Amino acid sequence: MELADKQDFIKLIILSLTLALWFYWLWMRKNLYLFALRFPGLFGWPIFGILLRIKSQHNVIQEFGKIFKDCKAYTVCTWIGTYPFIITADPPFIKDVLSAKELLNKAQPLYQPLYDTFKGGLISSPADQWHKNRRMINPSFHRKVLTSFLPVFNKAKDGAILKFRNFTRNEHVFISEELQRITLSITVETTMGNEMQKGDQVSEELVKSYVICMENLPIECFLAYVKLDRLYVWFTKASKEFVQKFIKGLLYGKLSQTPSTENIRLDVNISSTNSVSSYSHGNNGFNEKKPNIFIDHAINLYREEKISHQDLIGEANTIVSAAFETTANGLLSALLMLAMHPAVQERLFEEIENMFPDKHFFVDCENITNLPYLDMVVNETLRLMPPIPMIGRQVIQDTTLSNGLVIPKGIEILVSIFDLHRRTDIWGANADKFNPENFLRENLQEKHSHAYIPFSKGVRDCIGWKYALMAIKILLAGFIRNFSFETNVKLENLKFTNNVSLKYTNEPAFTIKDRCK
């Protein structure tokens, strides 16, 4: 046989093997394809699926909305990379998914970059690890512990008001970074025990490192669908290491109070800036014994060998990151909605002023429960701008839902909370408008239990949702009692991006004025 013939023969063999492997791969996934055909959907491009349609994290929310419209359905099947996905904004289907005990694993590879960045944690850990750690960490978010944080929240409120007075000197100001510093400071004190003096805040470098990590996670997720995420990790390595060092420093400060061999395993240097001050409640009738905050509880579990060293680091990282991000984003969105709707802002101001005639006040639990319009404003804000716009689940075994539908192993499920909260057949023709009246009791009676899920729902909901709501309401009450907020931005012109949490592509500017009374 001549050389040319041999080369052609080898090419034919290679092509035949490639096709055989391809058809074998398709055959092994036949159940996925047959299942996908039961739903309206888009297959997209080979290998990339709908990734080429999405293009970047700035288009995810917009494109998901278009997919629902194009398919004329709120549960559709599509492909992201080579991964088959169900994307849903349908309350009954969402309830079945979030209630199924077999569907507690987070979608892969959507959550893997988050797990790698924070070295584990409740948000992204596998179901068996999550179940064990969630059960042990739950006491750190008990109502009595949250109540003990009231002095910290109020101290932060007073410090934030002092900071915001500087903003009244300028006509157009951007406040997101300041809100991030405020909420990260609160989180560090309430979960990690690093006491914040009145008006003190964490460093700008730390805030930026956290923000960089969160902003780049969606890019890593997209690249993970085509197996290229590991190449991108190096671009955010410095920020991740800075955050890790900060958290380890806080953990070391707490562990060093009782010297032991455990401190050596943390592998961090002692620094006076990392020492943890004793927790103090201050005045206002909160002088009882200091609470068993997250870091105390987690370290006790670690010393009792109930959680590993990696779990200790991962849970600390995740708790801090998630708490400050959701609180800062919720607060920014609430202030933006109030600035866009002066009548709503004035009605809220009147409610707050009636409760607190003096500008300097302490908010307790009873106050929070007696501010119904504040509750409506916050809920409506989280409806339009949910802190986490989408969540995902991984089907690791064939799973039968309560409606009899069998979802085959290998399918991933994305719940678009953003689209769910804006369905006109649920929230009315003006579902994309801001209207706190949506949360009057009579307007909620006929809505599905899973039509509103800003912090997810079911067994694997957000552990810190009560914490976030308490912080948002106390800070918002302080801001509205002392300042009025204005903006030239229109609601219909807002553009959103998905940086794990919901963000604005162009940060809105505010005009902030002191209230005379």
Point out the annotated binding site: 462
Instruction: Give the per-residue pLDDT at 196.
Output: 66
pTM for the whole thing? 0.86
Reported CATH class of domain 38-514: mainly alpha
Contact 57, 224 (CB under 8 A): no
pLDDT tens-digit map of 399-416: 998 888 888 888 889 999
C-alpha span between 350 and 453 (Å, rounded): 29
- What count of Cα atoms within 13 Å lies in the side-chain half-sphere of residue 136? 24
Instruction: Give the per-residue pLDDT at 285.
Output: 45
Point out the annotated binding site for heme: 462
Q: What's the chain's length in residues?
A: 517
> DSSP for 262-328?
HHHHH-----GGGPPPPP---STT--SPPP--HHHHHHHHHHTTSS-HHHHHHHHHHHHHHHHHHHH
Instruction: Give the per-residue pLDDT at 289.
Output: 54
C-alpha span between 421 and 430 (Å, rounded): 12
Of the candidates 293, 300, 344, 322, the one whose C-alpha atom is nearest the C-alpha of residue 210 is 322
Q: Which residues of the chain have pLDDT under 70?
A: 1-6, 22, 24-33, 43-47, 55-57, 196-202, 226-236, 257-292
- What count of Cα atoms within 13 Å lies in the side-chain half-sphere of residue 4? 0
CA terminus-to-terminus distance, the chain: 99
DSSP H or E stretch at residue 498: strand 496-499
Q: Is the peptide bond before 91 cis (omega within 30 degrees of 0)?
A: no
pLDDT tens-digit map of 33-56: 677 777 777 766 666 777 777 766
512 CB-near residues (< 8 Å, 6+ apart): 164, 167, 168, 173, 175, 483, 484, 485, 486
- Enter the tokens of residue 346: 């004035």
- Domain residue spans in the chain? 1-26, 38-514
